[in-house]
Structure 1
Amino acid sequence: MENIQLIVKSTNQLTPQELLQIMEERVKVFVVEQNCPYQEVDQKDQTALHVFLKNKDEFIAYSRVVWHDDQVHISFGRVLVAQKFRGQGFGRQIVSTALDQIKHFYPHQDVQIQAQTHLKKFYSSFGFQAISPSYLEDGIPHTDMLLSVD
């Protein structure tokens, strides 16, 4: 794919079309595909940094950067790759890009995430370490993971 565009915007900078595309993809993946009815759009979206990849008008991958619930660590989540583009390395690319944005906007800040437990090995490949046992979040097993900058 040659026309891949990286877009990094705060919520206030998103166009209405971009915001709708993001919400549509997030609901499609996290509510419909994962059969998990929960409040997908939340208060964190108001102050989030949205990181996404597009190919012309096609949505490829997404993640949002937010403060962790503890308000001490920065975090990212809602990592997704549109179904059509899965298996092509875009998951690794969007996580790398989110981490790059965190380094840029929040230098020297540890990153704590709530990873779906089946993705522990994937996130470990970026240097994250599990810091909790597995627990259920909205009916899906998750593990807290930390990437220390020191």
Structure 2
Amino acid sequence: MTTSPTYTPPTYTTDVRRLEDFSAVDLYAMLKMRVDVFVVEQECAYPELDGNDLDCLHLRLFEGTDLLACARLWRPSPDVLPRIGRVAVSPDHRGKRLGEALMREAVIECEKAYPGEAIEISAQAHLQKFYGSLGFERTSEEYVEDGIPHVDMVRQATAPT
């Protein structure tokens, strides 16, 4: 039996804030990263500015002043689970396990904002194993969203400590 390597997070600082608390420069940097990853790199024409950012907490990882990665955390309505979405790692900073670090931080922040509740994601289908390693379980059949195969996944709530 092999054991997985111990998780050692990369060096970064975190920032979590609402959209209205961003400077224009910081907002531009985050939105540019998301467009660079989702629209340009993935060649996916879709409404990146979907009107939901105003209702979200925005998590960002930095190394100094360099934006490494970002995600948004939100609950679309009271009758649905909290969600993590728009998970993006800067193409300039890939290969540093930042996706894992970002998702671990996102789960922690969701648990703070929505204690005792499960967390949902709409995952690109090819990333199921990655999200599964973070405790997310597939809850839907594969479907196509904006031209990319996706599956819904849920991470059950952790017991309060």
TM range (shorter): over 0.9
Q: Percent identity?
A: 35
Largest Rg, 1 or 2:
2
Aligned to 2:157: 149
Which ranges of structure 1 fall in alignment gaps of 5 or more residues? none
Cα RMSD, aligned residues only:
1.5
Aligned to 1:125: 133
Instruction: Find the aligned partners of 2:93 and 2:79 in 1 and give their Cα distance.
Output: 33
Does the residue aligned with 2:52 lie in a helix, a strand or coil?
A: helix
Does the residue aligned with 1:37 lie in a helix, a strand or coil?
A: coil
Aligned to 2:71: 63
Which ranges of structure 2 fall in alignment gaps of 5 or more residues? 1-9
Q: Does 1:74 align with 2:74?
A: no
- 8 Å CA contact 1:68–1:112 kept in 2: the answer is no
Q: Which of structure 1's runs of 4+ aligned residues deviate more than 2 A?
A: 68-71
Residues 23-38 of structure 1 aligned to structure 2 (within 5 Å): 23-38=31-46
Instruction: Find the aligned partners of 2:14 and 2:144 in 1 and give their Cα distance.
Output: 32
Residue type matched to 2:39 in 1?
Answer: V
Does the residue aligned with 1:62 lie in a helix, a strand or coil?
A: strand
Residues 1-150 of structure 1 aligned to structure 2 (within 5 Å): 4-68=12-76, 71-149=79-157
Instruction: Find the aligned partners of 1:149 and 1:116 in 2 and give their Cα distance.
Output: 22
TM-score (norm 1): 0.94
- 8 Å CA contact 1:61–1:90 kept in 2: the answer is yes
- 8 Å CA contact 1:68–1:113 kept in 2: the answer is no
Instruction: Find the aligned partners of 2:141 and 2:73 in 1 and give their Cα distance.
Output: 23
